[in-house]
Structure 1
């Protein structure tokens, strides 16, 4: 499904895929077999490592209440793992327009998986957690599906961001207004869509040379003490700040804060996230690694690992006292990373391709995607 490019070498300029991925998401590969097509190992490595952090963060959720150290690490991970993923999503959305073939890919690669998993997750809860009253609603994203909903909206608005003069300041303005607007409600998880919008627009504004800057040795060296300092700061800030700020799903008023805290937190969190994301990109290997090919299947790992996380929650597997001690927390971390890695492998992708990457040629007019 995806053949990783050879090791790029230290002096090679950044290689980009010859075309945008099929559905425009950072976790889905371009069609194989096109002559002259090359993928940069950096992006696949970054996507894989980011999705591992996503899974680990979800696994830490029920454990973090018993450890201030784990709570601090949890907040730091949540400060940059989704921004790192969203920025790459924006970067690979730069060529999106309303051309029929790209709209078709947006429907099959984003809208259809959203409908499938937005239905599957509530059904899973209804039968596994014995919750017969669990409703199915396509307007209220459930658990992980908010990202697909957000990506669909962001990509549809891409042509607008490409023509306005100051896209990033406008995106910041929208995000700030969202944090002071509790009346937005839960429909389509618009709070997250709007508050994460600046990261997507930033990705649209980036050029290959910006990622080339991350190759500097001094930045890789500096990234280590920056992360160390961030972990110390995370430990310090645990009793002073709510982790809910990093979810970007509530307004300031809904978090019990005065309205003016919302715009300030948008700027503060964006600054922190940008620094940590830059350090993360700096530490991502540029050469082909054993996990590089798995970067093409991160959307599979993202959507499927949620069932296992919820299963553990419904069955109470993480309530054992020994799992809330350091060795138990380390074990949960390793298991989460291993599971999401397996879910990104080719055999899993082959099984679930029909719902995550459906072709659905029957649903479109002939020649419409020419």
Structure 2
């Protein structure tokens, strides 16, 4: 043993302060980046839908349409996959899946079908829960994708497997239309990619170098869209049909599946590079994107069915700007807190009466409360 005390004339060296741990983001605090990304993605969805009534008169608008359609839903699905990473078959998570996805699907599929029968001009009539109408396909797909999450966690190469399934779907016209299964399978790689991502992947995208690089990529994609749009079948971007159903040779399907996935990932990364990470005026709206997504369809369909776009002046550049602004304003209002509160009974129903009490969840809650009671008992024992 040696004596560490200072000799006369020496001063005792002060110990360096222990490094403070980096504070972790509390579980209850939301990440502004993802809320911003979800809001901006849902704005792009509404813009794309609003252009469907106008793009036939404008090559530029058609190019913008397929440019946005290349990545707006993939971005939304990738983020959904990223936030599904913790999903397992635990009872409390299954309950949230039922109340947050399955119940809204049943309600909105029913309401949209009745809305179509009453106001629309479509030949289809009646309510069917197996054939999602319009926007409801995403809820049906999300329900199935999330249920398969444990599978993707255990396979060795989840993304190549998902891509292989999507490629096979494009050459399989016999796939059932139930639950829009063709679209569910073709968008599957985007969800699985989200499951495979980690926080550092998003940090790498959100760099100054990536933002600079995204500008020529966006410009090149827009120019390419303008060149090919007269010769392109838009059905490829909807992912609803196999290659044969679109009049293409079967081998087009796998090639287009790979090409569209690659373009979707690149453009999604460029889009995310420009999403602000700090809190913005629209950040809180990102918590209500599913509300805006499901409700804006009623406005969109009603205006189309009742001839709002028949005015000739709307098919001018100024008209396109006004229609786009209207779509953005509508979806923004539908994401606000008052609208979310009104529709919470549908979007986030509790339904405690419908589920058994989970003993494991009760034990976890008791274990969580135990440390709070412990100091009180110790003080009482003294």
- Give the alignment's TM-score, normalised by structure 2: 0.87
Residue in 1 aligned with 2:237? Answer: 246
CA distance in 2, matches of 1:133, 1:214: 44
Residue in 2 aligned with 1:203? Answer: 194
CA distance in 2, matches of 1:331, 1:132: 31
CA distance in 2, matches of 1:130, 1:250: 23
Task: Please state if 1:51 is matched with 2:29.
Answer: no
Aligned partners of 1:179 and 1:251 also within 8 Å: yes
CA distance in 2, matches of 1:369, 1:150: 29
Number of matched pairs: 340
CA distance in 1, matches of 2:337, 2:101: 20
Alignment match of 2:215 (pick from 224, 229, 236): 224
Match runs of 1:174-323 below 5 Å = 174-323=165-314
Match runs of 1:83-94 below 5 Å = 83-94=74-85
Aligned partners of 1:104 and 1:369 also within 8 Å: no
- Per the TM alignment, residue 366 of structure 1 is displaced from its structure 2 partner at its CA by 2.1
- Per the TM alignment, residue 178 of structure 1 is displaced from its structure 2 partner at its CA by 0.3
Q: Deviations over 1:326-355 (max 9, x none)?
A: 000000000100100000000000101111
Structure 1 209/133 Cα, relative in aligned 2: closer, same or farther at 3 Å? closer
Which structure's CA Rg is the greater one?
2
Structure 2 stretches lacking a partner, 5+ long: 1-21, 362-382
* Range with greater deviation from structure 2 (338-347 or 125-134): 125-134
Aligned partners of 1:223 and 1:282 also within 8 Å: yes
Aligned partners of 1:101 and 1:369 also within 8 Å: no
CA distance in 2, matches of 1:158, 1:131: 36
- Per the TM alignment, residue 313 of structure 1 is displaced from its structure 2 partner at its CA by 1.1
* Range with greater deviation from structure 2 (177-186 or 359-368): 359-368
Task: Please state if 1:104 is matched with 2:88.
Answer: no
* Range with greater deviation from structure 2 (220-229 or 48-57): 220-229
- Per the TM alignment, residue 318 of structure 1 is displaced from its structure 2 partner at its CA by 1.1
Task: Please state if 1:158 is matched with 2:149.
Answer: yes
CA distance in 1, matches of 2:327, 2:314: 13
Structure 1 279/360 Cα, relative in aligned 2: closer, same or farther at 3 Å? same
Alignment match of 1:74 (pick from 62, 65, 76): 65
Residue in 2 aligned with 1:32? Answer: none
Aligned CA-pair RMSD: 1.6
- Give the alignment's TM-score, normalised by structure 1: 0.89
Alignment match of 2:321 (pick from 303, 317, 330): 330
Residue in 2 aligned with 1:23? Answer: none
CA distance in 1, matches of 2:37, 2:203: 14
Structure 1 204/132 Cα, relative in aligned 2: closer, same or farther at 3 Å? closer
Aligned partners of 2:91 and 2:358 also within 8 Å: no
Task: Please state if 1:146 is matched with 2:137.
Answer: yes
- Per the TM alignment, residue 185 of structure 1 is displaced from its structure 2 partner at its CA by 2.9
Q: Deviations over 1:181-217 (max 9, x none)?
A: 0001311100110000000000000000000001210
Structure 1 stretches lacking a partner, 5+ long: 1-12, 19-36
CA distance in 2, matches of 1:135, 1:186: 16
Structure 1 334/166 Cα, relative in aligned 2: closer, same or farther at 3 Å? same
